[in-house]
Amino acid sequence: MRQIGHFIDGQSLSEPGGRKADVFNPATGEAIAQVSLAPAETVHQAIEAAQAAFPAWRATPPAKRAQVMFRFKQLLEDNADAICAMISEEHGKVLNDALGELQRGIENVEFACGMPQLLKGEHSRNVGPAIDAWSEFQPLGVVAGITPFNFPAMVPLWMWPSAIMCGNTFVLKPSEKDPTSAMFIASLASEAGLPNGVLNVVNGDKEAVDTLLHAPEVKAISFVGSTPIAEYIYQTASANGKRCQALGGAKNHAIVMPDADLNNAVNALMGAAYGSCGERCMAISVAVAVGDEVADALVAKLKAEVEQLKVGPGSDNTNHMGPLISQPHQQKVLSYIDAGVEAGAELVCDGRTLKVDGHEQGYFVGGTLFDKVTPEMSIYTDEIFGPVLVVVRVPDMQAAVDLINSHEYGNGTCLFTRDGEAARYFVDQVEVGMVGINVPLPVPVSYHSFGGWKRSLFGDLHAYGPDSVRFYTKRKQVTQRWPSASLREGIHFSFPSNQ
**Does the pLDDT at position 343 exceed 90?**
yes
> Same structural domain for residues 335 and 207?
no
Residues with Cβ within 8 Å of 60's Cβ and at least 6 positions away in sequence, in order, are 167
> Same structural domain for residues 285 and 424?
yes
The sign of the dihedral angle between the CA atoms of 17, 18, 19, 20 is negative
Which amino acid is present at 64?
K
Between 485 and 495, the higher pLDDT residue: 495
Contact of 147 with 182, CB cutoff 8 Å? yes
> Same structural domain for residues 232 and 273?
no
pLDDT band at residue 494, thresholds of 50, 70 and 90?
confident
> Same structural domain for residues 431 and 473?
no
**Does the pLDDT at position 499 exceed 90?**
no
CATH number of the structural domain spanning residue 78: 3.40.605.10
Q: Which helix (H) or strand (E) holds 200?
A: strand 199-201
Contact of 195 with 56, CB cutoff 8 Å? yes
Q: At 172, is the secondary structure helix, strand, or coil? A: strand
Q: What is the DSSP string of 275-294?
A: GGGG--TT-EEEEEEESHHH
The reply to whether 163 falls in a domain is yes
DSSP H helical segments within 79-178, as ranges?
80-91, 95-113, 154-165
Residues with Cβ within 8 Å of 115's Cβ and at least 6 positions away in sequence, in order, are 62, 66, 162, 165, 166, 469
In this structure, the number of other CB atoms found within 10 A of the CB of residue 297 comes to 16
- Nearest CA-CA partner of 400 in 298, 262, 256: 256
Q: At 250, is the secondary structure helix, strand, or coil? A: coil
**Does the pLDDT at position 200 exceed 80?**
yes
Phi/psi-derived region of residue 309, left when phi > 0, alpha when psi is between -120 and 50, beta in every other case: beta
> Same structural domain for residues 242 and 163?
yes
Residue ending a domain, among 404, 437, 470, is 437
The reply to whether 485 falls in a domain is no
- Nearest CA-CA partner of 446 in 71, 75, 103, 76: 103
* 281 annotated active-site: yes
The 10s digit of each residue's pLDDT in 230-262 is: 999 999 999 999 999 999 999 999 999 999 999
- Nearest CA-CA partner of 162 in 202, 213, 107: 107
> Same structural domain for residues 206 and 188?
yes
pLDDT band at residue 284, thresholds of 50, 70 and 90?
very high
> Same structural domain for residues 215 and 259?
no
The four Cα atoms 219, 224, 226, 232 give a dihedral, to 10 degrees, of: 0
Q: How is the chain split among helix, strand and coil, in percent rounded to 5?
A: 40, 25, 35
Residues with Cβ within 8 Å of 175's Cβ and at least 6 positions away in sequence, in order, are 147, 148, 149, 152
Q: What is the largest CA-CA distance in the chain?
A: 90
> Same structural domain for residues 165 and 111?
yes
Between 422 and 484, the higher pLDDT residue: 422
The reply to whether 492 falls in a domain is no
Residues with Cβ within 8 Å of 266's Cβ and at least 6 positions away in sequence, in order, are 298, 301, 302, 305
Q: Residue 396 belongs to what domain range?
A: 252-437
- Provide the mean pLDDT of the chain: 96
Confidence (pLDDT) at 248: 97
- Nearest CA-CA partner of 159 in 475, 469, 474, 476: 469
The reply to whether 468 falls in a domain is yes
The 10s digit of each residue's pLDDT in 19-35 is: 999 999 999 999 999 99
The 10s digit of each residue's pLDDT in 111-138 is: 999 999 999 989 999 998 888 999 999 9
**Does the pLDDT at position 488 exceed 80?**
no
Split into its structural domains, the chain has a count of: 2
> Same structural domain for residues 195 and 263?
no
> Same structural domain for residues 301 and 207?
no
> Same structural domain for residues 63 and 12?
yes
Mean pLDDT of 358-382: 98
The four Cα atoms 395, 396, 400, 401 give a dihedral, to 10 degrees, of: -150
Share of the chain above pLDDT 90, in %: 94
**Does the pLDDT at position 82 exceed 70?**
yes
Look up the pTM and report it: 0.95
The reply to whether 10 falls in a domain is yes
Which amino acid is present at 1?
M
- Catalytic pick among 84, 281, 349, 414: 281
> Same structural domain for residues 339 and 234?
no
**Does the pLDDT at position 490 exceed 80?**
no
Q: At 457, is the secondary structure helix, strand, or coil? A: strand
In this structure, the number of other CB atoms found within 10 A of the CB of residue 412 comes to 29
**Does the pLDDT at position 101 exceed 90?**
yes
CATH number of the structural domain spanning residue 348: 3.40.309.10
Confidence (pLDDT) at 487: 64
